[in-house]
Structure 1
Amino acid sequence: MKKELKSFQESLIRSVINTRIYDLVRETPLTTMPALSAQVSNKILIKREDMHSVFSFKIRGAYHKMTRLPAARLKKGVIAASAGNHAQGVALSAQKLGCRASIFMPRHAQRIKVEAVRARGAKVVLTGDSFDDANLTAQQTARETGAVFIPPFDDKDIIAGNGTIAAEILRQHPAPLQAIFCAIGGGGLITGIAAYVKALRPDVRIIGVEAEESASMHASLVAGRRVQLPQVGAFADAVAVKQPGRLPFAFARELLDDVIVVNNDALCAAVKDLYEDTRVIFEPGGALAIAGLKRYAARNRWRNKNLIALACGANMNFDRLRFIAERAEVGEQREALFAVTISERPGSFRQFCALLEKRNITEFNYRMDDPNKAHIFVGVEIQGTAERRQLLQKLRAHNLPTIDLTDDEMAKTHIRHMVGGRAPATNELLYRFEYPEKPGALMKFLNTLGISRFNWNISLFHYRNNGADAGRVLVGMQVPPAERKQFDKFLRDVGYPHTLEVNNPAYRLFLEGQR
């Protein structure tokens, strides 16, 4: 493998030196992040791959690949599959080279990306519920029509095009450099970066970053073989790939120093960090490397190091900002969510407010529970986990039973929008469901729940559209104990990922019917 890797690196470097991409692609700047640098006590720079005309790095690999095709093959047209960014790169490259392009995209692809592809003259075919579905259809169509399939990541020319980013970084930053952080989807980007950097600067650490909902490279490296995830989340759609590419995985095992996984809250916080330093709104996948850098630097207690992160895309649907703004404070540990029980007696509410002192209140929901006590759902601005723990201990020390809900997914997604009273529902089972978000998906979900000869009653239902994220629904259903086995079988047959939440403290405090 080492001989194959060396040959690959030598070929990649030659390809980078001889590339024609700068006919269409600009060299992007390496920008210092002063606010983030101060926050994490290291010097942070970002590679501004959002500054291409297609707002992502994908133009590099696509155009490099297509400029190396013979004219006779280009004449037959090109086909690609993408959730949006690779699609725009192929469409613009085809427009520049004067050939036809058909792009297969998942049905839930962001509207902004679909319209951008069409605006560059490509034909868009919406098919399947994931990138992998669209990819299979695109490859089959290419075989049937003779058009050239342009892979998104598992291709040496695509990887070499991405390697031009590394060449620019090393030229722009000749000073000491400790690590480069890079998002991983299928692995084509980080493979190009790592192969080039490790050939010339083997001392520089290459750290991959994956979204928790699509961490296929991390799972594959742990297993020692390529793993295919059963499903991936749609929030960071640019990296929502079920299985890493064959070439990227083979070389990642040799080239990467580490891979770190971050959740959606950390991604939201990273989008905010990037905005505060650049005034640009990056998409979740584009902010992935920053989220990983923050976590990795904190975990390893790094100080005063030079660190670079690839900010690799800014194709953001505007309606997704609602979810990001809501979760960013939690993601960067600047908001704590508590459920606090107070006595229904004169002065108890004032005592609780006094204990919060001058902290900013981000959310406050209050309703009397019974004549003796009331439950409060409160969000409080904090400066980190240490202050969160101190405030929790302070409230408990003053005889106010308090539950920390900051990391409770159901509380963050649903309960904070539902506090207001209990219902007299008997035999209620509460579940969180997830399904791929796309037009008509909610009605399909409702119809699926209604297909049963038992006619179980829906006693609670909460859904919010979070802008192309996975659809998240909280459902209460009244199921008699004698029918529980049939209900469990029904859920298995339905097939939607689900979590039973009847023992969740947020539900017990704010929504559960009287026992």
Structure 2
Amino acid sequence: MSKVNLNDLAARIEAADVYGLAKRTPTQLAPKLSAELGQNIWLKREDLQDVFSFKIRGAANRISGLSDSERARGVVAASAGNHAQGVAAAAQYYGTDALIFMPVTTPPIKVDAVEAMGAKTQLIGDNYDEACAAAIDHAANSGAVFIHPFDEIDVIAGQGTVGREILEQMPRTPAAIYVCTGGGGLVSGIGAWMHKHAPKTKIIAVEAAGAQTLGQSLQAGKVVSLNRVDGFADGTAVRTFGETTFEICKQVVDGHIAVSNDEICAAVKDVFEATRTVVEPAGAQALAGVIQHIKSGEAPEGDLVVTISGANVNFDRIGHVVDRAEFGSGEEMLFAATIPEQAGAFLNFVRALGHRAVTEFNYRYAPRKDAHVLVGLKTRDMEDREQVITDMAEQSITVTDLSHDRLAKRHLRHMVGGRGDDKAEVLYRFEFPERPGALTQFLETLDARWNISLFHYRNHGAAEGHVLCGFHVPKGDVEDLETQLSGTGYPMWPETHNPVYEFFLRG
């Protein structure tokens, strides 16, 4: 594909027809956060749109430009949430029928919101890619107009109005704009506008570490598809970056940041403290990036703007986000401590904790020389975590920091205490789609010789469920088991040698 003409795109942004539906959202200074970070942080509040997301802009601009004959054929789209609501609202406003294909794992609240705007929905597949393939097939067979969520010029131009408003609202030209990035529609539109009207402003794309479609594509020099995507920040979790958006990003993006899920959760908390609004994980993704950049000393001097892209968060996810937020900010530490299994050792350990606040404590007696204790502890920052380890070492207590161990945070902290027997056991983590029948499908893939010895699942309100599973396996049969497990099609990670398993669960 030849390079997209950025001057032409800037002109399309100038002419974009979005304000029949979209609001001019404010760009607000976050005083407390700015003081804490030592730099002016401005929040572009796209969570304040009527559909709680910037996606209304691209959908409105695209559908406003349809001819009468195209509107008569109706529109079709694929989305698990924000784009679906944008297309539904725009279709209703411009008087055309809309059919939205959504994954089976889409929460009912999002399906209901789309249908309340007059659109029809069809649930199909476990993820966006499967729903999108079905939507494209339907468009080809029915003649309906497919509205892409990010890889169309008119959609990109609609999203670019966010950048136009930022320049109009800021008291000074910003040094950088940090943009949450999935398929690239928003960062392309903002970047194109700034390239024309504020070329010294840096455009920083921020992706979730487990969904780096742009990062991997930039590294490869072409659009690549990821084999697996972490769906935690579901608003930006796509397997394949857009071809058009990639051509634009190569010209306008000045930097790329990957942020962890814990960093995103910490940023959700920061947004709440600044605005008293609970945003979705993708909505706080850009803020997580600017915080990381400032702490590492890589942020440019001057005013920094971040896109708060959406607030379509499922209520049942909020607890999980709160649970992980303090890990991301360094304000909580999870660790395993090894102490002698003898009288007085427990008291000595508690004294070594000092006056730090304990958030959780898990211990169960085992007839062994040493005891293992799982502890959650309030800390001031990352440096304070190191001090905890030093303080414990001075009391001859060995500490293993588990603050970044997924098995510990997702599973073990909810099931410490039970130990297996002496039979040979192997342990795996899986991701299951959150749909009826997923567990049954998993179990039916295995034959009867594999005895399940451990199982833990906890719903986090996401499209994927995280499962920990142990199996009794005779020696020499592990390869056969893994062959069968791979046949389930679910992502899988071996955890038999994880120190968490050794400390607390192995027989």
TM superposition score category, shorter chain reference: over 0.9
Rounded to whole Å, the distance in 2 between the matches of 1:75 and 1:488 is 52
| 1:500 to 2:494 alignment | yes
* Match of residue 402 from structure 2: 405
Rounded to whole Å, the distance in 1 between the matches of 2:364 and 2:38 is 43
Change (3 A) 1:16 1:253: closer
| 1:452 to 2:415 alignment | no
1:414 to 396, 411, 415: 411
Give the drift of 1:112: 2.1
The alignment partner of 1:23 has SS state of: coil
* Match of residue 395 from structure 1: 392
* Identical-pair percentage: 45
Per-residue CA distance 1:484-507 (angstroms, 9 max, x = gap): 332232233333222222221111
Rounded to whole Å, the distance in 1 between the matches of 2:15 and 2:376 is 55
The alignment partner of 2:366 has SS state of: strand
Rounded to whole Å, the distance in 2 between the matches of 1:468 and 1:444 is 19
Give the drift of 1:174: 4.0
* Match of residue 350 from structure 1: 347
Per-residue CA distance 1:279-321 (angstroms, 9 max, x = gap): 1110111111111111122223548631110000100110011
| 1:472 to 2:466 alignment | yes
Q: How does 1:55-74 map to 2 (within 5 A)?
A: 55-74=52-71
The alignment partner of 1:369 has SS state of: coil
The alignment partner of 2:335 has SS state of: strand
CA contact (8 A) 1:271 1:284 kept: yes
The one-letter amino acid of 1:270's match is A
The alignment partner of 1:104 has SS state of: strand
* Match of residue 242 from structure 2: 245
Rounded to whole Å, the distance in 2 between the matches of 1:20 and 1:496 is 43
Rounded to whole Å, the distance in 1 between the matches of 2:433 and 2:297 is 36
CA contact (8 A) 1:42 1:303 kept: no
The alignment partner of 1:116 has SS state of: helix
Q: Which moved more, 1:301-310 or 1:474-483?
A: 301-310
* Match of residue 11 from structure 1: 8
Unaligned runs of 5+ in 2: none
Give the drift of 1:10: 2.2
Give the drift of 1:36: 2.1
RMSD: 1.7
* Match of residue 296 from structure 1: 293
Change (3 A) 1:330 1:292: same
* Match of residue 165 from structure 2: 168
1:211 to 208, 223, 232: 208
Rounded to whole Å, the distance in 2 between the matches of 1:348 and 1:38 is 43
Provide the TM-score with structure 2 as the length reference. Answer: 0.96
2:134 to 137, 148, 165: 137
The one-letter amino acid of 2:208's match is A
CA contact (8 A) 1:104 1:138 kept: yes
The one-letter amino acid of 1:339's match is A
Change (3 A) 1:376 1:405: same
Q: How does 1:293-372 map to 2 (within 5 A)?
A: 293-302=290-299, 305-370=302-367, 372=369
The one-letter amino acid of 1:452's match is D
Rounded to whole Å, the distance in 2 between the matches of 1:445 and 1:37 is 48
Change (3 A) 1:4 1:301: closer
Change (3 A) 1:398 1:95: same
Give the drift of 1:221: 0.5
The one-letter amino acid of 1:104's match is F
Q: How does 1:217-296 map to 2 (within 5 A)?
A: 217-296=214-293
Rounded to whole Å, the distance in 1 between the matches of 2:479 and 2:404 is 31
Rounded to whole Å, the distance in 1 between the matches of 2:234 and 2:74 is 26
1:436 to 433, 437, 444: 433
Change (3 A) 1:162 1:303: closer
The alignment partner of 1:423 has SS state of: coil
Change (3 A) 1:303 1:247: closer
| 1:120 to 2:114 alignment | no
CA contact (8 A) 2:176 2:300 kept: no
Provide the TM-score with structure 1 as the length reference. Answer: 0.95
| 1:42 to 2:64 alignment | no
Change (3 A) 1:439 1:283: farther
The alignment partner of 1:213 has SS state of: coil
Change (3 A) 1:138 1:421: closer
Unaligned runs of 5+ in 1: none
Give the drift of 1:456: 1.4
The alignment partner of 2:487 has SS state of: helix
Equivalent pairs counted in the alignment come to: 507
The alignment partner of 1:340 has SS state of: strand
Give the drift of 1:425: 3.9
Rounded to whole Å, the distance in 1 between the matches of 2:345 and 2:399 is 14
